[in-house]
Amino acid sequence: MHALALWYRREGFRVSGCDARIDAVQPLLEEAGIEVHRGHAASHAVDADVVVHSMAIAGDHPELVAARQRGARVMKRIELLAELFEARRTIAVTGTHGKSTTTGMAATVLLGLGADPSVQIGARLPAIHGNVHFGTGPDLVAEVDESDPGFAALSSSVAVMTNLEDDHIAGPYDERRNYHASLDDLQRAARAFAARGETLLYCADWDGLDGLFHDHPRARSYGEGAGADFRLEGLEASGDGSRFRLTRPDREPLDVRLHVPGRHNALNAAAALAAVELAGYDASGGLPALAAYGGVGRRWERWGEPNGALVVDDYAHHPTEVQATLLTARATGRRVRAVLQPHRWVRTARHWKALADAAAIADEVVVLDIYSAGEAPIPGVGVDAIVERIRERGVPASHHDLASASAYLADSLMPDDLVITLGAGDVWKVARDLSRTEGDRAAG
């Protein structure tokens, strides 16, 4: 939401906004001349001609009701994003996993080419000093959240689908904010999104995508499989990065080097390079910029090395993401101590067993309370079952809150440890606290 606010302020609109928790971005918004309110009240929208809300806000919220009563136009965030897409040549990146990283990589390549794209991304990209950039070039590189069913109506020049699986599915539960009713509904929305892309790029390695998009007239694929249009060859991955060759239609292959670890990031890089190619560029000139890419915020983000241990934070919260991130962590050769924060009650209710199994890749797991993201608790769902299932797999596990997790880890860190915080909520504060411990020791 705040990226769109900054965008439209840059375009000359008078912009104001509110949220229950806004500390992290309030200075940035106010510096741009945006009026900011903490908390919600109907009076906030009294002077607005247009009121934009995220999917987290219910349709009968008092601010929205008041806005409609006085004749203001009320829009969902995704609807405003659709208008933005219409005004630019857009590379739109979505998928269950990897969309922030792929968006950041594509933007980085275009910046390296001197194309100066506009950027809308759901994480902080150091190259643009934030998550929004108002570029002078014709292109917009944007992350698209597939949890919002409205993504089906977005039009783009290049539609990128990194993968698609069972996430943001409500199933038997009543919650509908940021959820599709069923996997079939999500797949239908994905097909509609793909159909509105002039060109579609999807991962050929991801099971089911070939069948889902087989009838798109301008579909292209990437991956390690022999049939991919943009193919990764000779992938060498380590705990520090990877290198591979990417074949591309009608041009010489690209020799790619990355300084972010994991096979999943090699696939993300292949998607980014392929998307730039499909947008009409020769991506080879952007390879040095991609090699220097250090990640977006909260994706394998290094916080420090207290007592010789490495402390990393990652946004992984779906079982597949947790698995990929912990496999990458194990490749470092360190003892992996994971701090897992289950995210949302509905997701935890539906996937807690798979989440526990993925977490058990670590050598030890500290499990925090469920981060609700505004959802109501579900009876019978909790952390204790996750802890017990991890223990059943022979991995030490314990239940902590933020403060006790930080204290426990600070007291038991060993030089060969890798502490990795996992989750989309505020689990990153454990990484911050451990890094402060490092600073306190240095100061002492």
Provide the pairing of β-strand 335-340 with 364-367.
parallel
Q: Give the pLDDT band (50/70/90) at residue 24.
A: confident
Q: Which pLDDT belongs to residue 442? A: 41
Fold of 2-75: Rossmann fold (3.40.50)
Phi/psi at 49 (5° precision): -85, -30
Q: What is the pTM of this model?
A: 0.94
Residues 202-223: tens digit of each pLDDT: 999 999 999 999 999 999 999 9
Residues 6+ apart with CB under 8 A from 2: 17, 25, 28, 29
Neighbours of 89 (CB within 10 A): 17
Rounded CA gap, 222 and 205, in Å? 8
Architecture of domain 301-443: Alpha-Beta Complex (3.90)
Distances (CA, A) of 112 to 99, 168, 384: 20, 34, 48
Q: Considering the chain, what percentage of its residues have pLDDT values greater than 90?
A: 91
Whole-number Å distance between alpha carbons of 182 and 166: 9
When pLDDT is averaged across residues 358-379 and rounded to a whole number, the result is 96
Tens of pLDDT, residue by residue over 324-350, are 999 999 999 999 999 999 999 999 999
Question: What local confidence, expressed as pLDDT, does residue 440 receive?
Answer: 46
User: In CATH, what number does 88-291 get?
Assistant: 3.40.1190.10
pLDDT 10s digits, 70-105: 999 999 999 999 999 998 999 999 999 999 999 999
| Confidence check: pLDDT of 441 > 60 | no
For the chain, the structural domain boundaries read: 2-75, 88-291, 301-443
Q: Show the tokens assigned to 217.
A: 């007239």
Q: How far apart are CA 103 and CA 8, in angstroms?
A: 20
The residue-averaged pLDDT of 424-434 equals 97
How far is it, in rounded angstroms, from Cα 421 to Cα 411? 17
Q: Is residue 238 within 8 Å of 331, Cβ to Cβ? A: yes
Asked if pLDDT for residue 37 goes beyond 80, the answer is yes
Residue 178 is predicted with a pLDDT of 86
The band of 437, judged by pLDDT with boundaries at 50, 70 and 90, is low
CA 291 to chain centre: 20
Three-state SS string over 63-77 comes to: HHHHHHHCCCEEEEH
In terms of Cα–Cα distance, which of 94, 104, 86, 154 is closest to 273? 104
Question: So what's the pLDDT on residue 268?
Answer: 98
Share of the chain above pLDDT 70, in %: 98
